[in-house]
Amino acid sequence: MNFRPEGAGGFVACALISLVVFVGSIGIAEAQGVKSAIPANATVKRYGSGWECDRGFRKTGGACVVVAVPDNAYLTGSAYGSGWKCAHGYKQNKAACDLVVLPANAYLSAATGDRWLCDRGYRQADDTCAAINVPENGYLTGGTNGSGWACDRAYRATKDSCVVIAVPANAYLASSGSGSGWDCERGYRELDGACNAIKVPAHGYLSGRSYGKGWECDRGYQKAHTTCVAVELPENAHLGFAGHDWDCNKPYIKRMQTCTLDD
């Protein structure tokens, strides 16, 4: 039975049906266009618009070309660089992965896997691991810089050997930082390779400082060459903060060696 809409209502119904058919045809055409625009070995992006190459392929122009992975390598999945890396124990050589050849007394670096390091007691010398010669009274430091060894306590490095440190009277072995390897005991000071006693005058005490005379005067005394003399207080004065000089009582002011009132 054929249906023929009559009047204005029929005309509107026909127009709506035509519009639905037209929109549907556009959607189908667009979907077919998007599908045809995706190259082989590619997939529509999950987020955003466009497409991306499948794993093992990379975008070149408008196509997805296969990533050529050499032997002993694996895909990285990165869109940058070569797209592959060499397996542990191999190193890249242009477009190939060469086996890392270990010399005697060496091992593969756990961090990178593409280079080797020398065992403890050995150090790199060109393409080999040469033994570190530790002298008598010395020990391996484990460091890769310098000689690779250090001397035992009471010895010092001299060229390729460890020689005993000659400690003078009134001295002791330094723990570190001393050029001579020893320091003078308290109350003594180094002079010409010996530890000489610091002469502390009456009313003085050892300061413990490495500079100056090595002693200070008691409070109420001041230095006068090699002695400590009493601080003479003028009238209306008192000992200063350090105790080795004087200041005027307020409201007096210092003028020469006296304390006077300001006019």
Q: What is the 3-state secondary structure (H, E, C) of 25-73?
A: HHHHHHHHHHHHHCCCCEEECCCCCCEEECCCEEEECCEEEECCCCCCE
* Tokens coding 17: 């049906």
Model confidence at 85: pLDDT above 70: yes
| CB of 124 closer than 8 Å to CB of 103 | no
Rounded Cα distance, 64 and 54, in Å: 8
| CB of 185 closer than 8 Å to CB of 175 | no
Which residue, chain included where needed, has tokens 């077919």? 32
Nearest CA to 107 out of 94, 121, 86 is that of: 121
Domain boundaries, the chain: 133-164, 165-197
Q: What is the mean pLDDT of residues 134-159?
A: 91
Which residue, chain included where needed, has tokens 């530790």? 134
Rounded Cα distance, 213 and 229, in Å: 16
Higher-pLDDT residue of 75 and 12 is 75
Rounded Cα distance, 52 and 42, in Å: 5
Model confidence at 247: pLDDT above 80: yes
* SS3 category, 12: helix
| CB of 156 closer than 8 Å to CB of 176 | no
pLDDT for 176 equals 67
Higher-pLDDT residue of 158 and 10 is 158
Query: How does residue 3 score in pLDDT terms, banded at 50, 70 and 90?
Result: very low
Rounded Cα distance, 178 and 165, in Å: 12
Which residue, chain included where needed, has tokens 């006019």? 263
pLDDT for 175 equals 80
Rounded Cα distance, 221 and 204, in Å: 8
pLDDT for 35 equals 55
Residue type for position 71: D
Nearest CA to 214 out of 230, 231, 197 is that of: 197
pLDDT for 1 equals 40
pLDDT for 110 equals 95
Q: What is the mean pLDDT of residues 214-238?
A: 97
**DSSP class of residue 174?**
-
- Over residues 52-68, the pLDDT tens digits come to 999 999 999 899 999 99
Per-chain mean pLDDT for the chain = 87
* Bridge partners, residue 128, by sequence: 125
- The secondary structure element, H or E, covering residue 230 is strand 227-230
pLDDT for 117 equals 96
Q: What is the mean pLDDT of residues 25-38?
A: 53
pLDDT for 159 equals 92
Model confidence at 105: pLDDT above 80: yes
Higher-pLDDT residue of 211 and 25 is 211
| CB of 217 closer than 8 Å to CB of 228 | yes
Model confidence at 17: pLDDT above 70: no
Give the percent of the chain with pLDDT over 90.
73
User: Does this model's pTM top 0.85?
Assistant: no
pLDDT for 113 equals 95
Q: Which of 36-40, 181-185, 204-208 has the lowest mean pLDDT?
A: 36-40
Residue 188 makes CB contacts below 8 A (sequence gap 6+) with 170, 171, 195, 196, 197, 198
